[in-house]
Every structure is written in structure tokens, then in C-alpha cells.
């Protein structure tokens, strides 16, 4: 793993939804963790739109109760528990009871950190909720912003190793090769044409099946509709473009958004932060 450095100042706060509701989030990237990212949530009413991540996501509940879906199933996790979302899992998440405060800190381990902990990059955990006091303590120490970098890095590595030992994991068949051929063709077409309008009928025609069958295939295999996948894929492209130095407006156009405002709305609904907050955190990780 890269040599540990002092932990960076957390990224800027993003206001979500109605400012009067008090929903806030913060995102930062930890250079000393090989690009591992942290997401702090302080919600009273906010819930994410359906989305997925390329990486494993583990959330430690600090206050309140979180209600989230993973695939077709719904779960609740209270203070001290861990929410676990595998790479590629379509999911949502937010407050269990509107108006009651929910605070959690999520970690998105980098490929390097997963490899060092003995977990595959496509780590696939069966349990969506883990209630384990030992793991709670390890993740609490690792994700504490006041922990020294070296101690936090060690704690996170131990926590991931213990999570794998206690919960079990295997390679997750999440790439397009594991999908049905029609869904795979549709995914390839979407990824290659994100900068253009993408309608269901057009995607289905390229996949060689009717729209109804394409919808069924996406829901069965990916847990999402084709348009949900398009939104997610466009946000992922924006992230890549911003990391490569592209401007906000240029990234919006290249990813197929109508304009920058449209990109910001979708980005915030899926990732809980604005594109500018993401870009600020990424730049801070490089200094």
C-alpha cells in the first residue's frame, strides 16, 4: 500500500434536497489508502435514487437507523451496525423514518486496499447487514477522522480482513460477460454512446430484442432498468472526466447530460454530493 500521510481535511459539505431539512454530506479521498474514499452522511429526510458502485461500500451507522435496498430486498440497520453493498449491486439508502436523524460514515476501499486485505476486487458478501461488535469497533477506529493516518490504515486493513473471515466472500460475477447476451450487447452499446440520446427502443434494437424483454433482462440480471443504468453510467463517466482534468460543463456534454444543471441534479441524487464537491475532494487528495 502507498505510504501513509496525514489525513486530509474533509471535503466540502453538500446540501441535499430542501436546505431546511438539514440533509448534508461530505466526500473525501484518502491518498494514504490507495485512493480509498469516505462519505459522511447527516440526513433527516434524504434518500438516494437507485444506483450502484464499482467498488465495495461499507457503511458504519453512527446515529439513528438506515433503511436501504440491495437488489430486490429491503433492510434496516441501526447504530453500530454495518451496511454492506457489493460492487454492482443496485441499491438505495436513506433515513428509516423521515425527520429522524441518520448519521453514518461509508468507506469505498480501493482495489489496492482490497487486494492487500485478501479480498477480491469484486468482493461479494452475502449479508447486507452485519451486526458484529468486534467489527463495529474496528471500523469505528478506522473511520474516526481523529485517528492518526497510520493507525487508521492499519485498523481499516484489519477490519476488512476480519470482515472477509467472518462473513465470507467470493468473486462477484458483475461484468457484462456474465450477463445474458442481449443485456451484454445493450450494456456495451450504452457505454459506447453515452454522449448521445439513448432511448429504450434504440437500445433494445441494438441488443436484438424487444423493449419489454430488454426491461425484464435488465431487472433480472442487473437489478435496474436500462435508463437507470444510463444515468449511472453517465455519472461514472463524469467522475472519470473530472479526474482527468475536464471542466464541469465539458464533462456534462461528453457524458450525455442536457446541461450542467441536469448533470448536477442526477449526480447529487446518485452520489449524495455535487460534481464540484467531488472535484474539490479529488484535487485535495492530490496535494
As given in the structure block, the three cell numbers for residue 217 are: 433482462
* Per-residue pLDDT band at 195 (split at 50, 70, 90): very high
pLDDT beyond 60 at 273: yes
Cα gap 204→207, rounded to integer Å:
5
Cβ within 8 Å of residue 202, ≥6 positions away: none
Q: Quick one: pLDDT at residue 179?
A: 52
**Could you tell me where in the chain the CATH 1.10.10.60 domains are found?**
180-221+225-285
Contact between residue 91 and residue 85 where contact means Cβ atoms under 8 Å apart: yes
* Per-residue pLDDT band at 7 (split at 50, 70, 90): low
Model-level pTM?
A: 0.79
Q: Quick one: pLDDT at residue 241?
A: 96
> Mean pLDDT, to the nearest integer, of 32-54?
89
> Mean pLDDT, to the nearest integer, of 26-30?
88
Maximum average pLDDT range among 16-20, 79-83, 146-150, 171-175: 79-83
Q: Quick one: pLDDT at residue 133?
A: 92
CATH number assigned to the domain covering 180-221+225-285: 1.10.10.60
Kindly report the backbone phi and psi dihedral angles of residue 230, in degrees, each rounded to the nearest multiple of 5, phi listed first: -60, -45
Higher pLDDT: 268 or 286? It is 268
Cα gap 222→218, rounded to integer Å:
5
pLDDT beyond 70 at 226: yes
Place domain 13-171 in its CATH homologous superfamily. Answer: Jelly Rolls (2.60.120.10)
Cα gap 280→282, rounded to integer Å:
5
pLDDT beyond 80 at 99: yes
Contact between residue 87 and residue 123 where contact means Cβ atoms under 8 Å apart: yes
Q: Quick one: pLDDT at residue 150?
A: 62
List the single range of 40-44, 156-160, 193-197, 270-274 with lowest mean pLDDT: 156-160
**Could you tell me where in the chain the CATH 2.60.120.10 domains are found?**
13-171
pLDDT beyond 70 at 20: yes
Amino acid at each position: 500500500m502507498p505510504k501513509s500521510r496525514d489525513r486530509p481535511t474533509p471535503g466540502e459539505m453538500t446540501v441535499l434536497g430542501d436546505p431546511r431539512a438539514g440533509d448534508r454530506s461530505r466526500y473525501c479521498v484518502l491518498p494514504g489508502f490507495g485512493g480509498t474514499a469516505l462519505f459522511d452522511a447527516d440526513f433527516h429526510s434524504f434518500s438516494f435514487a437507485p444506483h450502484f458502485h464499482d467498488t465495495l461500500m461499507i457503511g458504519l451507522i453512527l446515529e439513528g437507523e438506515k433503511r436501504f435496498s440491495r437488489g430486490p430486498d429491503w433492510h434496516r440497520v441501526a447504530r453500530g451496525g454495518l451496511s454492506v453493498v457489493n460492487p454492482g449491486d443496485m441499491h438505495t439508502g436513506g433515513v428509516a423514518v423521515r425527520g429522524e436523524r441518520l448519521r453514518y460514515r461509508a468507506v469505498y476501499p480501493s482495489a489496492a486496499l482490497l487486494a492487500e486485505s485478501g479480498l477480491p476486487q469484486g468482493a461479494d458478501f452475502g449479508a447486507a447487514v452485519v451486526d458484529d461488535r468486534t467489527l463495529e469497533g474496528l471500523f469505528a477506529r478506522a473511520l474516526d477522522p481523529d485517528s492518526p493516518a497510520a493507525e487508521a490504515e492499519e485498523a481499516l486493513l484489519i477490519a476488512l480482513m476480519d470482515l472477509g473471515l467472518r462473513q465470507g466472500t467470493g468473486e462477484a460475477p458483475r461484468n457484462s460477460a456474465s450477463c445474458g447476451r442481449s443485456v451484454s450487447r445493450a450494456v456495451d452499446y450504452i457505454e459506447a454512446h453515452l454522449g448521445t440520446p439513448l432511448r429504450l427502443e434504440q437500445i433494445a434494437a441494438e441488443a436484438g430484442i424487444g423493449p419489454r424483454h430488454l426491461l425484464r433482462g435488465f431487472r433480472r440480471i442487473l437489478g435496474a432498468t436500462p435508463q437507470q443504468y444510463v444515468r449511472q453510467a453517465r455519472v461514472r463517466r463524469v467522475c472519470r472526466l473530472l479526474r482527468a482534468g475536464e471542466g464541469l460543463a465539458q464533462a456534462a456534454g461528453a457524458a450525455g447530460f442536457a446541461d450542467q444543471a441536469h448533470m448536477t441534479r442526477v449526480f447529487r441524487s446518485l452520489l449524495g454530493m455535487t460534481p464540484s464537491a467531488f472535484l474539490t475532494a479529488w484535487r485535495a487528495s492530490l496535494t
